[in-house]
Amino acid sequence: MFICGVLMMNRDEILRILEVKTFDSSMTPVVEVDKSKILEAVSVLKQEGYDMMLCLSCVDSGDCFEIVYNFYSTEEKKSVVVKTHLDREYPEVKSVSSVYPCADWYEREVFDLFGVEFSGHGDLRRLLMPEGWDGYPLRKDYVQKDSRLRWNERR
């Protein structure tokens, strides 16, 4: 079935994609989803009652980027964490702002600080760094070129 141009999967397909891999320290389920299925998975979570996106963040592990989505159901008082991994050379994933409008700002922040592209985002531009800033300061391979800003290096 298609709703608003998004392919909606049946419950069995959802369960296959949203297999719980681990739990975090608070016993919140942590689900890993292939980046090609992130929009469908997030749409399913919204339909299943996860009405709040609490956070979207990025982790630079050195060899890839991990996008971490945190969702909460206000009715059932439960949380779920969804993770997807992105290639370091060309980090791109579909925007989920069409499902959770608050993702707009989170995606802009991750783009600004890590350089992750969110395809389908309506206004993907720098949020914190000034326009024209060279590079993405939260990447592990980022090199600060302005010596005045190197506060943690010994002289």
Give the model confidence (pLDDT) of 47-92 as tens digits.
989 999 999 999 999 999 999 999 999 998 888 899 999 999 999 9
pLDDT at 130 over 80: yes
| Nearest Cα residue to 117 out of 105, 104, 107 | 107
Please tell me the predicted confidence (pLDDT) of residue 45.
92
Asked if residue 16 has pLDDT above 90, the reply is no
d(CA 90, CA 104): 20
pLDDT value at residue 3: 29
pLDDT at 131: 87
Q: Is residue 38 one of the residues assigned to a domain?
A: yes
* 45 vs 143: which has the higher pLDDT: 45
**6: in domain:** yes
Three-class SS state of 47: helix
At position 26, the amino acid (one-letter code) is S
Tell me phi and psi for residue 152, to 5 degrees.
-105, 10
- Strand segments, DSSP code E, in 95-148 are 117-119
Check residues 10 and 136 and name the one with the higher pLDDT: 136
- Predicted local confidence at residue 28, as pLDDT: 80
CATH at residue 62: 3.30.460.80
Query: Which tokens go with 71?
Result: 């969702």
Sort 45 into a burial class: Cβ within 10 Å, 0-12 / 13-18 / 19+. buried
51 part of a folded domain: yes
Task: Report how many domains make up the chain.
Answer: 1
CA proximity to 110, closest of 44, 66, 143: 66
Domain range enclosing 25 = 2-142
Nearest CA to 39 out of 4, 90, 77, 75 is that of 4
Q: For residue 50, is it within any domain?
A: yes
- The mean per-residue pLDDT over the stretch 13-39 comes to 72
Query: Would you say residue 11 has pLDDT above 60?
Result: no
In a domain, 83, yes or no: yes
In a domain, 150, yes or no: no
In a domain, 154, yes or no: no
Q: Which residue has the higher pLDDT, 93 or 25?
A: 93
Whether residue 94 is predicted with pLDDT greater than 50 in this model: the reply is yes
Percent of all residues in the chain with a pLDDT value above 90, rounded to a whole number: 57
- Mean pLDDT over 18-46 rounds to 80
Residue 155 lies in a domain: no
CA distances to 21, 51, 102 from 92, in Å? 23, 25, 19
